[in-house]
Every structure is written in structure tokens, then in C-alpha cells.
Chains A and B, each alone.
Chain A
Amino acid sequence: MSPTVTTSSEVHGNVSAATARAAAKAAATAESTGPQTITLAKALNTAMADAMHADSSVLVFGEDVGMLGGVFRITDGLTKTFGESRCFDTPLAESGIVGMAVGMAMNGMRPVIEMQFDAFAYPAFEQIVSHVAKMHNRTKGAVKLPIVIRVPYAGGIGGVEHHCDSSESYYAHTAGLKVFTPATVADGYRMLREAIDSDDPVMFMEPKKLYWSKDLVDLEGLRAEHAANTERGTSSGGRATVARPGTDATLIAYGPSVPTALAAAAAAAEEGRSLEVIDVRSIVPFDDETVCASVRKTGRAVVIAEAHGFASVSSEIVARVQERCFHYLAAPIRRVTGFDVPYPAPKLEHYYLPGVDRILDAVDDLQWED
């Protein structure tokens, strides 16, 4: 039978055998490697494994996340390491997955659940909007829902329809949800650990086209950073970062658009234009301070997002920056976003996705002649 799971308060006194094995394995991995080249997928997987080791109330469930390890293999090996009571498949029903997570979180667990694809999360919308987002507020803080809802999102992988939606605006528009989206391998680990630690629910939007992007990452260093942050009660949650410093204009991007923005900045540099790239990281809460500091410095900005531009996160960013930086702006803020059309079929998606040329065109339009 499956081992008994303990709540977080009991964790230090009662670590299951499977958890102990996982700890030994994690330690062995760390010792033998040091900085290593890993994928975003591996970083996310490691974050979940480490969180499950640290706290036996952390549970992972969803569709195909068990023996298969998820259709993107992000939960690979978790069932084997932690047992079927800690990482398991559910019936194929997204509202059920989220609704059950609400009850589990009410009763001492920290569920980390996977929606298989962005557009397949929509059946869970009512549970997310009416309960996940509101429970803390309705109960005046008596009930906390430490739930992480992982959503592989956005396009660029040649996926058929309903597999490539940029759904972040729906969640960002809902009061009571944090919305995180990592763009780098290190942030995959760092931000997922922070999301799991959060007492508030987090929509964790994973850019699926970046799952197999690689980077040299010091996992042991990230673990130490997480431990230090936990001890100090600090975190990088809610903060944007300067992904590339520059002086002439600011490119504001998040998730799948960050590498595109960096590529545009590199191309612009060859033409003698210095672009700063801001990686928003956390859509909610939004880091006005970092974003506006950059725009006040450069006086020009382009917001880049894959999602449709109309009534979107990108429109919100433009509005916020304009309200706060109007007198610093040398030109209206431009946006490079997806068109206001349903996500296109694979053979057409390259017309839709914001690319380097479209970004550079927008930068060229920032009234440099003045």
C-alpha cells in the first residue's frame, strides 16, 4: 500500500523511506556534478523533487504525470522516487484536478498540479476563478490555498490548435492569483520553488517552447540560494530582472518572448543601438519599480508578448508604464504582440509570433529623429 503522507508541520519528525531515498539521490546528484548544462524541463523537475523531499505535504498530480512523467516529461521519475501517494495520475478532468487540489490544500497539503496544455485548462476556469483565487479573501485569511497550477503555455512548437494558447491574461485579470512565468533555466528552478513555498495560489506559466532550452546552471548554488532566502524570509518572487543592460530603449518581455527580445537586442547592438531587456518574471505581482526604473533611464520602450495584444498583459504594462513614466518618455510605448486572431495552424504560426525583425521595426519607430 501507499505510504502515509504527513503534513508539513510533521515533516522533520517523520520522513518516509521513499523521501529519504530521494534525499540521498538528490545529494548524490549534487555532489557529483557542480555547474552543469541542463534543460528548463530538468530544472522544473528538480525543483519539484527538491520541494517534495523538503516537505511531505507537497503532492504532484494531474493527467499522465505518473508513470509517463507528463507529456513533456516535467514530472519524470517523481512517482518512482516518491511513490504513488505523492505523484499520481488523476481521471481526465481538469475541473476535478483543481477542485480536488482546493480541498487538499484546505486540509493541509500543498498540491502542485499540472494542466496538460494551456487550452485544456479552461474546464478548470470556474474552480480557479471562483475558488482558488477567492478562498483566502472570502474567509478573511482563515483558509490559505498553497496551490501551484502549472500550465505549459504559448506556441512556437508547431502544435495543433488548442495546444498553443497564451492564456496568462485570463489569470492575471483575476484578483487573488499570482502569475509567474520563467524564461531561463535557473529561474525555472528558482521560481517553481518559490511558487511551491507561496501560501497564495500561483498560476505557473511554463513557456513550452523553452522546455528543451539549455543553460549552464549550478543547481547546488540554487539550492543554497533557496535555503538562504527561506531562512531570511526573502525571495525573488514578484521581482523583474534586467536580462540585458542597455541605454537607448527598453524591451519589456516575459516567458517565451524573453529569448526573442534578447536576440533583438543582440541584433540592435550590431547596428549600434543599446537595448535593455527586462524579464518581467512575475506578471502578478508586477514589479513596477524595476520596469519603470529602466524606462525612466532609456526614455523609450517596446513591450513584447506572444498573446493577442487586445486587453492583455501587454496592454496593462503599457498603461502602467505610461502612468508612471510619462514625462520621461521620448516616444509612445510600442507593442509587439500576437495578432488578435485565434492561434494559427503550424504552417502559419511564424507570421503570428513576435520575431526579431518585428521588434526591431518597432524600435525604429520610437521617434529617434527627435
Chain B
Amino acid sequence: MTISADHTALGQDAPEQANGNHVTEGAAAEAVRKFGITVEDYMLPARHQIQMVDQDGTLNPHTEQGAQPGHEYALPGDAELLAAYEQLVVGRRVNDQNSALVRQGRMAVYPSSHGQEACQVAAALCLADGDWIFPTYRDSVAVMARGVDPVQTMTLFRGDWHSGYDPTKHKVGIQCTPLTTQLLHAVGVAHAAKLRGEDTVVLAMCGDGATSEGDFHEALNFAAVFHLPVVFFVQNNQYAISVPLAHQSVAPSLAHKAVGYGMAGERVDGNDVVALLAVLGRAVKLAREGSGPLLVEAHTYRMQAHTNADDATRYRQDSEVAQWVARDPLKRMQTYLTDRGLLDDDGAARIAEKAEAVATQLREGLGEDVPVDPQDLFRYVFSTPTPQLKEQSAMLADEISRDEAAK
């Protein structure tokens, strides 16, 4: 069996056709030219998830990394691995600090990515400066790792406003709560960049539950049909609030969904930052070189409840959680880097200090009681307020001034 949606023979250079169907030709050409494998071997994920460093912190022999021809991944460089480890430690500290701030009542809510930090860090580090990322509400650590100020990142969860940073300045979409709707925005950003001849890559994030949404399908299909440089990155953390993946999909894996759109899919150990950097790094490189979109599924686990309002003990067993404790992304990376002589006590202390500095910044920033301006309600609905909004703004101002006068 071969896969060739445009019904041209594999390996044959399809000419630029009048109907513009260069799409599968592109993917087919990609597979054959770059990897010497069939289109189906290119598009289907490797038979096993890609894992480079196992849960004990040992580098797998190349033959046991889950790879097969066309799916081999190079070990990222030492500097990249150290930078990733530093971000892992910072990310973990951010997660735990924010959860504490919620318990103290200084934030309304915080969807923690505790346990998923490897995905967060790799998503941010695999991109170049001009690239875009579209995060979900659980991806605050990735947002910060892209350079957004930690306190600004937390604006949404503190409840001052819906977003605290300028998406166009940082090339970071605002954290999205309606599931998968942001994937289409990623597609649009990539499409605009492509039309202008720019080599921007866009990384679009969602979770396992989100793959059931219609916009997941529409975004992947649009990206494939328009042959856009989008890397779809699914963090499969096993649960959509309380509902396990088996109730969302019976596909062989979420990465297998890629082939239905004519794009390549890969699955990776989502707690192995080494494998994530390798797989996402290659996906970004391929997308930038014109491969069209790719789909990467990371197997990870949401170690804590959905949010502080959730009770995870109602739907999952402690024994299951314990299995994932053993697969912790930080611990294995620490072991691996220490064993390789890349990380010593001084280095670890320096990184811990950096993480503590970010935590302090969060505590201090979120501890401040920032005054809110009630007139902001009206200020940004339109570029120019309508006469009706001006009336309502005046009404509220009058109400407030009368309240003040009565005090």
C-alpha cells in the first residue's frame, strides 16, 4: 500500500498543476528525497514512541530509542541540554509557586503543568526568535520560556484582565481557554507569513482532549491543504479534566491522526526533554524547509489536578500517579547530566538560585495589589468607542463618583 492522495506515482516529480494540488506531492517528495522511505513510513509515526533518555536517566542505545529508518534523531548538543535543564527547574518552581499563590488566595486559578515541564520547555526552545507559539491555558511555563514576563503571564489567572502581554510583541498567542480554537489562529499566522515569503514557523499547542474538537480537524486540514509551516504539538497528559484518553479517541495514537491529513506524525516520551528537543527540533526544521505541517504527540502526565477547583482522586488511582512520579522529567535529566559530567553541585546551585529568583518575582509581583480601572471595561471593546459605550462609560463614572462622594 502506498499513500498518494493526488494519485501520482511516488517519487515522480509532479509538475505544478493547474489545480494547485502540490500538497501531497510536497509531502511525498519530502519523504523520498530526505529520508529514502515511503510516504507512509514518513507520515506514520515510528512504531514506538521516541525516547532517548529513560526514566532512570540513562541514554538509550541508538537502536532502542524507538527510531526506525527515517525516524532517527540526533542527540541535541550539550549547551542546548543544559539550557533545557535550567528551564525545567525554573518551570517546576514556577508551577509550585503559582499553586501556592492560589492556595494563599493571591491568584484566582492556576492550571499547573507540574509533570509536563519537559513539553513546556522543549516547545519554547525548539523555535527561532521570529517564530510564533500558540499556547493553551496550561502552557504558562512555555509562555515564560519564550521571554514573556512571569507576572504579565499570570495576569489572566490573577484576574486583573484577560491577558497581560502583547501577543504580537512576543509572538506568543494569548493563552487560550476555548479548546483548539488557537490552532486555527496559528494556521492563519503561518499563512500570512507564507504569503509574504517569510520563513516563520508556528508551533500550535493543545492537549489530548482537545483533539476531539472540530477545530482540531479544521486546523490540521487547513494547514495541510495550504502547505503551511505549522508544528502541531499535542501534550497527551492522559486526562481531559476527568475523562481519560480512551473516552476521547480509539486511534492507535494521536500522532496517527496526521496521516489522515497528509502530514507526518511522531510520538515521543513527553517526560524526556532530550527526545522532545530532538523530535520538535527536527519538525521545526522540516517545516521551515517547506515540508508543510507536522504533528507531534508527547506522552506525559498531569501530576496534579486540572485546577485547584478539581479533585483528581475522584477519577484516578494513586498507583497510576505513582508510576508517573518515577518518570519525572526533572529527575531523569538531572541524573543524565550529572552522570555525563555536565552538571555539578555548583551548576545545580546556580540553576536553583535562578529558579528561586523567578519565584520571588512571582510572589512579589502577584502580592502587589494592582488597582484596576473600571473605565477599562469600555476602553478596548472597539478601536473607537461607540456612542452607546460612551454613554455607559459616563454612567459608570457618575455612579462611582456618587459612591465616592457618599463615603
> Which residues does A use to contact B, with CB under 8 Å?
1-2, 4-7, 59, 84-85, 90-91, 93, 95-96, 98-109, 123, 126-127, 130-131, 134-144, 175-176, 178, 198-200, 238, 284-286, 288-289
Q: Which residues of B contact A59 (CB under 8 A)?
A: 195
Q: Which residues of B contact A135 (CB under 8 A)?
A: 174
Do the beta carbons of B20 and A84 come within 8 Å of each other? yes
Interface size on B, residues (CB 8 A): 46
Do the beta carbons of A99 and B381 come within 8 Å of each other? no
Q: Given A103-B184, A103-B189, A104-B188: A1 and B166 within 8 A (CB)?
A: no
A75 to B20, CA, bound (A): 20
Q: Which residues of A contact B319 (CB under 8 A)?
A: none
A103 to B173, CA, bound (A): 9
With both chains docked as a complex, state the minimum distance between the C-beta of B378 and any C-beta of chain A, in angstroms.
Answer: 10
Q: Given A136-B381, A284-B386: A99 and B219 within 8 A (CB)?
A: yes
> Across chains A and B, which 7 residue pairs bring their CB atoms closest together, nearest first?
A103-B188, A99-B184, A96-B218, A285-B386, A107-B192, A138-B162, A103-B185
Do the beta carbons of B178 and A99 come within 8 Å of each other? no
Q: Among A5, A107, A137, A143, which residue has its beta carbon within 8 angstroms of that of B188? A: A107
Q: Given A91-B221, A93-B222: A104 and B196 within 8 A (CB)?
A: no
Q: Is B69 an interface residue (CB 8 A)?
A: no
Do the beta carbons of B188 and A136 come within 8 Å of each other? no
- Residue interface mask B181-194, A partner, CB < 8 A = 1: 10111111111110
Q: Given A100-B184, A139-B163, A143-B168: A4 and B196 within 8 A (CB)?
A: yes
Do the beta carbons of A200 and B383 come within 8 Å of each other? yes
Chain A residue nearest in CB terms to B178:
A130
Do the beta carbons of A93 and B218 come within 8 Å of each other? yes
Do the beta carbons of A100 and B196 come within 8 Å of each other? no
A286 to B196, CA, bound (A): 37
Do the beta carbons of B174 and A96 come within 8 Å of each other? no
Q: Which residues of A contact B181 (CB under 8 A)?
A: 99, 126-127, 130-131
Q: Is B40 an interface residue (CB 8 A)?
A: no
Q: Is B315 an interface residue (CB 8 A)?
A: no
Q: Which residues of B contact A4 (CB under 8 A)?
A: 195-197
Q: Is B358 an interface residue (CB 8 A)?
A: no
With both chains docked as a complex, state the minimum distance between the C-beta of A92 and any C-beta of chain B, in angstroms.
Answer: 10
A98 to B215, CA, bound (A): 11
For chain B residues 360-399, which have a beta carbon within 8 Å of chain A?
Answer: 376, 379-384, 386-388
Do the beta carbons of A5 and B168 come within 8 Å of each other? no
For chain B residues 159-207, which have a beta carbon within 8 Å of chain A?
Answer: 161-163, 166-169, 173-174, 178, 181, 183-193, 195-197
Interface of B is mostly: helix
Q: Is B16 an interface residue (CB 8 A)?
A: yes
A144 to B168, CA, bound (A): 10
For chain B residues 225-267, which have a beta carbon within 8 Å of chain A?
Answer: 225
A106 to B218, CA, bound (A): 19
A130 to B166, CA, bound (A): 18
A175 to B378, CA, bound (A): 10
Apart from A91-B222, A101-B188, A139-B167, list 14 A-B contacts with CB within 8 A: A90-B225, A93-B217, A95-B184, A102-B188, A106-B173, A107-B188, A107-B189, A126-B178, A136-B382, A141-B383, A143-B167, A175-B381, A284-B386, A288-B387
A127 to B182, CA, bound (A): 9
Do the beta carbons of B215 and A109 come within 8 Å of each other? no
Do the beta carbons of B222 and A285 come within 8 Å of each other? no
A130 to B381, CA, bound (A): 13
Q: Among B185, B225, B380, which residue has its beta carbon within 8 angstroms of that of A136? A: B380
Chain A residue nearest in CB terms to B223:
A100
Chain B residue nearest in CB terms to A129:
B178
Q: Which residues of A contact B169 (CB under 8 A)?
A: 142
Q: Which residues of A contact B218 (CB under 8 A)?
A: 91, 93, 95-96, 99
Q: Among B168, B197, B214, which residue has its beta carbon within 8 angstroms of that of A95? A: B214
With both chains docked as a complex, state the minimum distance between the C-beta of A290 and any C-beta of chain B, in angstroms.
Answer: 11
Do the beta carbons of B191 and A104 come within 8 Å of each other? yes
Q: Among B163, B187, B193, which residue has its beta carbon within 8 angstroms of that of A100? A: B187
Chain B residue nearest in CB terms to A285:
B386
A141 to B380, CA, bound (A): 6
- 16 A-B pairs, CB-CB below 8 angstroms? A4-B195, A5-B196, A91-B225, A93-B217, A96-B187, A96-B221, A100-B188, A101-B188, A103-B191, A109-B192, A127-B184, A140-B163, A140-B376, A144-B383, A238-B387, A286-B386
A90 to B380, CA, bound (A): 31
Q: Which residues of A contact B214 (CB under 8 A)?
A: 95, 123
A6 to B192, CA, bound (A): 10
Do the beta carbons of B174 and A138 come within 8 Å of each other? yes
Chain B residue nearest in CB terms to A133:
B381
Q: Given A99-B215, A103-B191: A137 and B162 within 8 A (CB)?
A: yes
Q: Which residues of A contact B379 (CB under 8 A)?
A: 140-141
Chain A residue nearest in CB terms to B180:
A99
With both chains docked as a complex, state the minimum distance between the C-beta of A68 and any C-beta of chain B, in angstroms.
Answer: 14
A141 to B219, CA, bound (A): 26
A96 to B187, CA, bound (A): 9
